[in-house]
Structure 1
Amino acid sequence: MFKKETIFSSYAVDNVEQAKEFYTTVLGLEVQEDPMGFMELHIPGSNNVLLYPRDNHRPAPFTVLNLPVKDIDEAVNSLIEKGVRFEQYEGNIATDPKGICRANGQGPDIAWFKDPAGNILSVLVL
């Protein structure tokens, strides 16, 4: 049924210009805007992600975008240098002082952070 179409994901932001700055400058992704105010993130080796403006945006309480990395410490350190603040969690997904959940073989090492609209993103080692 969906074999002939490209499947993609999308989520809202409250300010497209702030989002564009964050996704290009901080995350280093290529971004393309369209005249309707939508923004497409070009994801290397994957489908693109559509971001759209929403005035009464409320961020989802879950991860909307996962960014695989080879070295999580290197990725986290690089993002911290760019001003990113990593989330701190306790319990089953407890994070270390840098914000990394060390899965110890029980899943991927992962660290969560937010974009300017409050959407939760992650870097993780697959």
Structure 2
Amino acid sequence: MLKDKDSAAIVAVKDLARAKAFYADVLGLEQVNGQDEQVAEFRTGKTSLVVYVSDFAGTNQANAVVWGVGEEIDAIVVALREKGVRFEQYEGMDFADGIHSSGGFKMAWFKDPDGNIFHLNNM
């Protein structure tokens, strides 16, 4: 039924202007739609990331968006850190420079200004 249909990530934010600045200026995403005060859409690869205003922004305690960035993970983490992004560190996991490695798999987590959790990996 849905296997051939495109999907998009959708993330709740409290302050759309602040979110637009973060997603465009920090993450480097291009805004492609949403000139109103409630919704904005950003291009990310061949998909899109939609942000919308909600009082429930940041309440999800799991990954909201995942990017498979391949071998660029180290460089992306450094570039995001230079833009002020703080990387999460979770109990029971070893981290080096914000990246957790396990069996060749690298992972890093950070939050947007509303506390939504984003995940980078080298896949």
Give the TM-score band, short-chain normalised: 0.7 to 0.9
> What CA distance in whole angstroms lies between the structure 1 residues aligned with 2:109 and 2:74?
13
Q: 1:7 to 1:71 in 2, by over 3 A?
A: closer
Query: Which residue does the alignment assign to 2:101?
Result: 102
1:20 paired with 2:20, answer yes
- Over residues 18-52 of structure 1, what are the superposed CA-to-partner deviations in whole Å (9 max), with x where a residue is unaligned? 1100110111001132325201121122x212111
- Normalising by structure 2, report the TM-score: 0.86
Query: Which residue does the alignment assign to 1:87?
Result: 88
Equivalent residues of 2:63, 2:118 under 8 A apart: yes
Give the C-alpha shift of residue 97 in structure 1.
4.2
> What CA distance in whole angstroms lies between the structure 2 residues aligned with 1:113 and 1:77?
12
Q: 1:68 to 1:5 in 2, by over 3 A?
A: closer
Query: Which residue does the alignment assign to 1:116?
Result: 113
| Aligned residue type for 1:37 | Q
| SS of residue paired to 1:18 | helix
More moved, 95-104 vs 75-84:
95-104
1:125 paired with 2:122, answer yes
- Over residues 85-126 of structure 1, what are the superposed CA-to-partner deviations in whole Å (9 max), with x where a residue is unaligned? 0001121xx142422111123xx3110000001000022100
Q: 1:71 to 1:56 in 2, by over 3 A?
A: closer
| SS of residue paired to 1:21 | helix
- Normalising by structure 1, report the TM-score: 0.84
- Over residues 37-84 of structure 1, what are the superposed CA-to-partner deviations in whole Å (9 max), with x where a residue is unaligned? 201121122x21211101343431011111222322211111110000
> What CA distance in whole angstroms lies between the structure 1 residues aligned with 2:72 and 2:91?
23
Structure 1 gap segments, 5+ residues each? none
Q: Identity of counterpart residues, as a percentage?
A: 36
| Aligned residue type for 1:104 | G
Bigger fraction of residues in strand:
2
Structure 2 gap segments, 5+ residues each? none
